[in-house]
């Protein structure tokens, strides 16, 4: 019996290295696919951009990125789900500045700074378009008309969403008084209201606006960015129109986020992989057909960009008493 015990003990000792090698605690991250929550419905601009990134990521990452659309609550439902997910590195969030707006207004019931930016993966510079019956044809003419007729220019917004914050920021920067018209649902409904001449001005993006401008259903006003988009090479920039202060307002950025309690190892892993994929020529060609801005950022530079933008949102929320 004593000999048998010695043999069993020796066998256990011999198997220990093998057991330790496959121990979950020692396994290399990531062991399984990672879910990326998008707080918007499938089919929109952010969703398509994310799926392009996820597709090309398969060439670089050890596991797939699985897109999970969670719309609802003016994007708050999906954002809360990202906050409340397990902090194990297997849930990320992909979302733009609308997240800053809902957080600054207190809609989320969560602290914005509990989410940390992992990477910036390009952005969409938005533009303002006008209905064909609007009494102006450029940014300068719109400003002149709005100052001469306070409260007359009807700007379509989705209240408390990003289009609302953008309109308030334009009013604040230029000293204007718009008549803000609530159009729930975002870009599509706003575009329909413009074509139907129910409003004068609304946001769009060059790739979508191009066909409507060419058909004469909409009039281009300006793009917030200082870069003229390839889709509309004659489009005036805010800077060219003499209003460079608007440049900070109109970028919709592709940010990847992780909760602050997610292990740094996981954040660094995806920052590394996203940096690789954003330099991929095939991704640049495909994503570049949709967006002008393919800039990547991580670390301190990214955090500084996010902090500066969130400060702008907090300022607008305070000035216009939007805090809930």
We report the CATH number of the domain holding residue 268 as: 3.40.190.150
In a domain, 227, yes or no: yes
Q: Structural domain of residue 60, as residue ranges?
A: 33-123+251-319
Q: Which two tokens stand for residue 211?
A: 């066909």
pLDDT of residue 18: 44
Distance CA 153, CA 170 (A): 13
pLDDT of residue 94: 98
Edge-first strand order for the sheet with 293-297 is: 65-69, 34-38, 91-95, 251-259, 115-125, 293-297
Residues 136 and 69 in one domain: no
Q: Which residues fall within 8 angstroms of residue 74, CB to CB, at 6 or more apart? A: 102, 107, 158, 160, 161
Task: Please identify, among 246, 280, 301, the residue that sits at the C-terminal boundary of a domain.
Answer: 246
Residues 213 and 285 in one domain: no
Half-sphere exposure of 51 (CA within 13 A, CB side): 12
pLDDT of residue 289: 86
In a domain, 324, yes or no: no
pTM for this model (two decimals): 0.85
CA-closest candidate to residue 134, choices 192, 253, 54, 221: 221
Structure letter (DSSP) for residue 160: T
In a domain, 26, yes or no: no
Number of neighbours of residue 220 by Cβ within 10 angstroms: 22
pLDDT of residue 26: 53
Q: What is the CATH number of the domain that holds 139?
A: 3.40.190.10
Is the CB of residue 161 less than 8 Å from the CB of residue 186?
yes
Instruction: Report which secondary-structure segment, H or E, holds 223.
Output: strand 218-223
Give the alpha-carbon dihedral of 130, 132, 135, 136, to 10 degrees. Answer: 50
Task: Please identify, among 210, 229, 246, the residue that sits at the C-terminal boundary of a domain.
Answer: 246
Distance CA 113, CA 153 (A): 36
pLDDT in tens, the chain (324 residues): 444 444 444 444 444 444 444 444 457 999 999 999 999 989 888 999 999 999 999 999 999 999 999 998 889 999 999 999 999 999 999 999 999 999 999 999 999 999 999 999 999 889 999 999 999 999 999 999 999 999 999 999 999 989 999 999 999 999 999 999 999 988 889 999 999 999 999 999 898 899 999 999 999 999 999 889 989 999 999 999 999 999 988 878 999 999 999 999 999 999 999 999 999 999 999 999 888 899 999 999 999 999 999 999 999 999 999 999
Residues 234 and 299 in one domain: no
In a domain, 4, yes or no: no
In a domain, 79, yes or no: yes
Q: For the chain, give the number of residues.
A: 324
Task: Please identify, among 216, 246, 276, the residue that sits at the C-terminal boundary of a domain.
Answer: 246
pLDDT of residue 24: 42
Judged by phi (left if over 0) then psi (alpha if -120 to 50, else beta), residue 257 lies in beta
Residues 235 and 134 in one domain: yes
Residues 237 and 134 in one domain: yes
Total structural domains within the chain: 2
In a domain, 6, yes or no: no
Rounded to the nearest 5°, which phi and psi values hold at 127?
-135, 165
Q: Which residue has the tokens 């940010």?
A: 255
Residues 117 and 133 in one domain: no
Residues 106 and 255 in one domain: yes
In a domain, 21, yes or no: no
Residues 99 and 132 in one domain: no
């Amino acid at each position: 019996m004593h000999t048998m015990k010695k043999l069993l003990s020796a066998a256990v000792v011999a198997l220990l290295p093998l057991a330790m090698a496959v121990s979950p605690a020692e396994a290399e991250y990531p062991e399984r696919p990672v879910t990326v929550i998008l707080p918007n419905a499938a089919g929109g601009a952010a969703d398509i951009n994310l799926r392009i990134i996820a597709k090309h990521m398969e060439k670089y990452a050890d596991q797939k990125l699985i897109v999970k659309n969670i719309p609802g609550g003016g994007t708050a439902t999906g954002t809360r789900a990202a906050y409340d997910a397990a902090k194990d590195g297997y849930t990320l969030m992909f979302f733009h500045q609308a997240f800053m707006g809902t957080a600054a207004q207190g809609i989320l019931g969560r602290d914005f700074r509990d989410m940390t930016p992992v990477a910036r993966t390009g952005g969409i510079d938005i533009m303002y378009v006008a209905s064909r019956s609007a009494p102006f044809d450029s940014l300068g003419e719109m400003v002149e008309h709005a100052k001469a007729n306070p409260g007359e220019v009807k700007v379509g917004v989705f209240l408390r969403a990003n289009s609302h914050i953008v309109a308030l920021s334009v009013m604040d920067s230029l000293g204007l008084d718009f008549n803000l018209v609530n159009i729930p649902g975002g870009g599509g409904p706003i575009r329909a209201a413009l074509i139907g001449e129910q409003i004068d001005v609304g946001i769009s993006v060059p790739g979508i606006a191009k066909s409507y401008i060419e058909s004469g259903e909409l009039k281009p006003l300006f793009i917030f960015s200082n870069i003229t988009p390839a889709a509309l090479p004659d489009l005036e920039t805010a800077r060219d129109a003499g209003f460079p202060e608007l440049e900070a307002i109109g970028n919709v950025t592709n940010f990847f986020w992780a909760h602050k309690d997610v292990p740094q190892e996981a954040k660094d892993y995806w920052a590394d992989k996203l940096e690789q994929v954003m330099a991929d020529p095939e991704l640049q060609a495909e994503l570049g057909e949709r967006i002008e801005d393919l800039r990547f950022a991580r670390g301190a530079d990214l955090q500084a960009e996010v902090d500066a933008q969130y400060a702008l949102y907090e300022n607008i929320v305070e000035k216009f008493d939007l805090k809930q």
